Structure 1
Amino acid sequence: MLVASLRKEMNVKKRTLIRTIRKEQEVIVQATAEASNKEEIIRLLEEQKNSLGIAFESYVNTTKASIDTLKQILVETLDAHHNVSQSIEQHQLTLIQTIEQEIQKLILKNEDILKSTSSETNAMNKLQNNLIQKIENIFLAKKRDDDLGFDRLFSEQKQALVNVVAQQQQAVSLDLIKQTMVDAIHEQQALPKKSNSNIEHIKKSIDDTTTNKAGQQKSIS
């Protein structure tokens, strides 16, 4: 925008100089036509020369000022661009450093989380192992108690069965003895009367034997 404005101003100055030159030429032509002597022509040429010199000097000065202004603007623009570039570069560097710091923090945080998770996992595994061991110990202790209970119950049942068998054997033996004695009594009753004393003796023996067997059965029970 500023360069276009300077270019426009220089074009205006240039057109003004051209118009001035043309105007002086017209004046010279008119003066030449009217002048009657050589001195007048020389004077007019000298005036034209001076006017052209002043106009050209003004044009040169204006052009030089415009060039200096344009140069200054370009220098300032380049400096500003350089400063902006440095600022952008510094901002990018700061942003990169910030991102790197955040990434490092995130890595450290993840490492802490992994360490904490590993510690918690180890603690949970240890607790689980302890719990399993306790359950196994309780199960083994209960199994031992159950085995002892079963052994005791089996022994009691075995002893009870032995007692029952013994009682049955004693009862069978007692019945056989009684039956044998009864048969003997019947045989003695079939003999003459002089054998009555023997019968009484046999009855007494049967009663004594029955009493002894009953006492033995009670002691076993």
Structure 2
Amino acid sequence: MLDLKQRRIELNLTMLEVAKLVGVSEATISRYESGNIKNMRRDRIEKYAKALQVSPSEFLDIQEEPQISKIPYTEEGAVLVPLIGKVAAGYSCHAEDNISEYIRTDGSSLKTGYDYFWLEVKGDSMEPELHEKDLVLVQEQSELDSECYAVVTVDNEDGLVKQVQIDNTKITLKSINPYYPPRIFEKQDMNRIKIVGRVIEIKRRLV
């Protein structure tokens, strides 16, 4: 596989210069180079290859898109999406012993080519937006737009639901509850964060 960092250095390019050519943040380029992002959109592969003056085929070991979801369909366009017990580093979200039930979900809100899961919110750090035991629907992806809600892991901690702020020099995990200060990760510490997916829906159970 192409060594992205080595190739950039050979061309005397900075991460910021490559980021501008590809159309992403400098932090995203850093995560690509460290191997923390395992998939990349096809249009981004083409831009990245052009920036590094190589063939797109050099990126073959990076998935062009997430694997097609295997979520079963039910009647009336609904799909059964698993409610998982936890998100943890090195542990499959979709492992059989991690699925507590399947929740009927409107299929029109799901995109082809992504996997999805429901996760129960724990704690009060995201109140008043998210309450404990609320359910969030997560679209699995390793890239995010800044300020969106997402599930992330830090080191060996279980997955957290946070508002994620991304810029060229740092990643900030923000809670909505003011009693919880933001967690800021700069430079190499940004590699401690793994983005699991983006929250696309919230469900509140009444009982």
Global fold match (TM > 0.5): no
Q: Bigger radius of gyration, 1 or 2?
A: 1
* Richer in helix (by share): 1
| TM bin (shorter chain) | under 0.3
* Richer in strand (by share): 2
TM-score by length of 1: 0.13
TM-score by length of 2: 0.14
